[in-house]
Chain A
Amino acid sequence: MANDQSLESPGVVVGTVCAIGRSAINAVQQAGRLAMFFVTTLSRLFYWPFPFAEVIKQIHFIGAKSMPVIIMAGLFTGMVVALQFYDALIRFGSVDLLGSVVALALIRELGPVMAALMIIARAGSATCSEIAIMRNEQQFDALDCMAIDVYRYVMLPRLVAAIIAVPLLTAVVDVVGIGGGYIVGVLIQDVSYGAYIGGMVDTVQWNDVRMGLIKSVLFGAVIFCVVLAKGFYLHIEQPVSGAEGVGRATTEAVVLSAILMLFTDYVVSAFLL
């Protein structure tokens, strides 16, 4: 229905206003759909029996299969952070703080964000296109017709798996990142071992770990909610169906989930700091 109007070319001002209005309506609609989708999926938590086997399978897919890329991301993040901070700290003659700074940066901020980005790139996009293809092949219609609850058997296990797997992967990024920082700080730049590790132990508090944990849980929920809903609503949101629609939905899901993840990051940081 939106296309009919744009064909008539109603003049620049009116046209612009129309376009702004349309995208505003779209954004609100999409936000509403996302919220409904999230609530409906979570409501299936209380149905018995809970599909444990499927959750395990999805944790394997999201978590275990992401390990190589997560380890690489953690390693290089830790190394570059240590490098940058070393260069900054040496100007104040306080390179002994390197361990604390690297650990705090990783645990509070970079660990959750890097893990989330890697999961979006690997598991998120794959899940979105999987769900979109299921929609495209009428698999959801078939499940509806067999009286099998799609939210319960398809959506919930993936969402729960993400909420479990993302914090675990974040922990991996943190640990590998601190190791990367160790390589750069201690082995290459000759910061003392005691200063690096000891400083870290002294500065990092439970509050910092908790912040990272809360973030990563929320990231898992936000990312997979977006990714699943984008695939699920393929037929409503995408102007084209078929492979092209699947491709578009996946691209949009990756962009939107990354932005929402970073937005969540800011909100959580603002609240907890």
Chain B
Amino acid sequence: MSAVEAGGEGAGAPSQAIIQVTDLVTHYGDRQILKSVDFSVNRGEIMVVMGGSGSGKSTLLRHLLALEKATSGRIVVDGVDIGSASRKQLTELRKGIGVAFQGGALLSSMSVADNVKLPLRQHTRLNEDTIDIMARLKLELMNLSGCEDLMPAELSGGMLKRTGLARAVVMDPKLLFFDEPSAGLDPVTSVELDDLILKLREAVNITMVVVTHELESAFKIADRITVLFDGEIAKVGTPEEIRACDDERVQNMINRRPRKDPVDANKYLNRLTAGAR
């Protein structure tokens, strides 16, 4: 770990880290969401970011995707400093990155096949026949054969998610972000999706960052897990290390115990009566 941190300062990212986040602080309005987060992902690994709602995990993801501006801190993805990158650099970077959004985020005006082909049509000069086969291959991989001509509005939640994943991997990215793969899926589909993630990694050695709150799926697919809690990193480690971790917040999460904050009697009373005297 220390070698990675020391190497992260160099612009060329000499270490094996593909993502290096240093001292990231973010706000939403006046509210601080992330409080000094340090985070790194190595090439070829599956990093799962876990945390309850409001822990800042979605915010972290949005910052890694350069969809938000940070208050302070540095994010380097594949050698590109996102905070200071030009539009052109960002475009080049994004061509090598796939993102599967929670609800699929398919363009509602296009069929499934056109959605999947969109990045290829925009960024490559491949022949339309090749693009056709590539899109079908990815849909086949996601168990979606025969859905090419359906519109997003006709798909179920799980199908939307898988189409989104097909689109995310259609350019064979080296880095894949996946937001909540199992949220809203039935258990069987969710397990299938986990297997698919593992298969993808094995075959094409893709680096993955998966944001989830599903414990089972996290422990199954992760090489390393980062546990976020209230905008801070509670623990980073392999699934075994996380299980063995004696941090109370991490244990509460693993054992699905609700959080127990100490009660400040005065403040609590104040909240209940809205300050009326």
Contact = CB atoms under 8 A, between A and B. Distances in A.
The answer to whether A and B touch in the complex, with CB atoms under 8 Å apart, is yes
A1 B101 contact: no
A209 to B, nearest CB: 36
Contacts of B90: 147
Interface in B130-185: 164, 167
B103 A145 contact: no
A1 B94 contact: no
Nearest to B29: A1
A144 B90 CA distance: 10
Contacts, number: 54
A12 interface: no
Contacts of B273: none
Interface string A107-144: 00000000000000000000000100110011101111
B99 A145 contact: yes
Interface residues of B, number: 26
B24 interface: no
Instruction: State the 4 A-B residue pairs at the shortest beta-carbon distance, nearest first.
Output: A142-B105, A147-B94, A138-B105, A145-B99
B198 interface: no
A144 B118 CA distance: 13
A272 interface: no
| Most-contacted residue by chain B among A1, A139, A146 (CB, 10 A) | A146
B119 A146 contact: yes
Contacts of A138: 101-103, 105
A50 B221 CA distance: 44
B70 interface: no
27 contacts: A130-B108, A137-B105, A137-B108, A139-B107, A139-B108, A141-B65, A141-B67, A141-B101, A141-B105, A142-B101, A142-B106, A142-B107, A144-B65, A144-B66, A144-B94, A145-B65, A145-B67, A145-B99, A146-B99, A146-B118, A146-B119, A146-B167, A147-B90, A147-B91, A147-B92, A147-B122, A148-B118
Interface residues of A, number: 15
Contacts of B202: none
Contacts of A143: 107
Interface in B89-128: 90-92, 94-95, 97, 99, 101-103, 105-108, 118-119, 122-123
Contact of B99 (A133, A134, A142): A142
Nearest to A4: B30
Nearest to B101: A138
Contact of B94 (A130, A134, A139, A145): A145
